[in-house]
Structure 1
Amino acid sequence: MAFIKQVSDDEATGVLQRVYEAARGRSGGVANIIRVMSRDGRSVQGSMQFYTSLMKTDNALSASRREMLAAVVSNINECYY
């Protein structure tokens, strides 16, 4: 498995620090999927904004259907994270 250097909580500054703080506010910690993108704070921020707009805002699909669709796609892609 490849190793990707991650930015620790203590090293995070600026945009990345705000992303980490928001993650801790939502779930009590920073998920590994966020940490693996931590080398570029703007990229992780954009990714989180994209995820939020798809999964956490009202749209044509109910929240349960969005989660089900995400699970199906993850299974097809053999991504069990």
Structure 2
Amino acid sequence: MSWINEIPYTDAAGQLKKIYDRVKGPNDNIDNVLSIHSLRPHTLVGHMGLYKNVLHNSNNTLPKWYLETLGVYVSNLNQCSYCVDHHSAGLKRLLNDDTKFNKIVSCITKDELQDYFTFQYLEGLKYAKKLTLSHHTITESDIHALRDQKLSDGEILEINQVVSYFNYVNRTVIGLGVNTDGDIIGLSPNNSDDSENWSHS
């Protein structure tokens, strides 16, 4: 599951058990990206609060499928197969359109985004790449380029936060050797109207 010790659901107690009960999926399954925090449960609280509000909050105005696409793209750039696998499955479920899904994944894999994306969606992905691979080169002109594509400052913040979150979680997963063994691929906290509901389905 990872290169450090973890506490499984069956052995959890106290604060950790309470948090696990909030995030568990079917059959008390805890995704490895979450159980990696088990030795410091307070960090799982921080992770889940960020994840739920950045990616699964009804106050976001960009489409959920696009935010998920940003996550898959950033994870691919970072060579994080764990997050690519999980969030590709989530993206496929959100789209419910195999043709569209396959086109998006093909563009991401080849890093030829212009083959599918245009206008604000393409510009957002370009910003995602720059923030992931060469963040030190970003200037205010990059924000102007996003605005030029009719993205509001709030939507620019959404993109920035999703990209930043995935860079964080990619490094958590890769840095601790987390794999998908035992995971149910593609589960997510889907109640976007309740930021406190972390259950996975």
Any conservation in 2 of the 1:9–1:17 contact (CA below 8 Å)?
Answer: yes
User: Following TM superposition, by how much is the alpha carbon of 1:10 offset from its aligned partner in structure 2, in angstroms?
Assistant: 3.2
Alignment identity in percent? 26
More helix by share: 2
Instruction: Give, as a single letter, the amino acid of the residue that structure 2 aligns with 1:47.
Output: H
Name the TM-score, length of structure 2 as normaliser: 0.37
**In the aligned structure 2, how far is the partner of 1:51 from the partner of 1:14?**
23
**In the aligned structure 2, how far is the partner of 1:33 from the partner of 1:62?**
24
Correspondence for 1:76: 77
Correspondence for 2:6: 6
Correspondence for 1:62: 63
User: Following TM superposition, by how much is the alpha carbon of 1:11 offset from its aligned partner in structure 2, in angstroms?
Assistant: 3.1
Runs of 4+ in 1 over 3 A off after TM superposition: none
Indicate the SS of the match to 1:10: helix
**In the aligned structure 2, how far is the partner of 1:37 from the partner of 1:20?**
11
Indicate the SS of the match to 2:51: helix
Name the TM-score, length of structure 1 as normaliser: 0.85
CA RMSD in angstroms comes to: 1.4
Which consecutive residues of structure 2, in runs of 5 or more, have no partner in the other structure? 83-201
Indicate the SS of the match to 2:15: helix
Radius of gyration: which is bigger?
2
**In the aligned structure 2, how far is the partner of 1:41 from the partner of 1:14?**
10
Correspondence for 1:38: 38
Any conservation in 2 of the 1:55–1:66 contact (CA below 8 Å)?
Answer: yes
User: Following TM superposition, by how much is the alpha carbon of 1:61 offset from its aligned partner in structure 2, in angstroms?
Assistant: 1.7
Kindly provide the CA deviation profile for residues 24-56 of structure 1, in whole angstroms up to 9, marking residues without a partner as x: 2xx211000011111111111110110000011
User: Following TM superposition, by how much is the alpha carbon of 1:17 offset from its aligned partner in structure 2, in angstroms?
Assistant: 1.2
User: Following TM superposition, by how much is the alpha carbon of 1:13 offset from its aligned partner in structure 2, in angstroms?
Assistant: 2.4
Indicate the SS of the match to 1:21: helix
Which consecutive residues of structure 1, in runs of 5 or more, have no partner in the other structure? none
Any conservation in 2 of the 1:19–1:45 contact (CA below 8 Å)?
Answer: yes
Q: How many residues align?
A: 78
Higher relative contact order (Cα pairs below 8 Å, separated by 6+ residues)? 2
User: Following TM superposition, by how much is the alpha carbon of 1:3 offset from its aligned partner in structure 2, in angstroms?
Assistant: 1.7
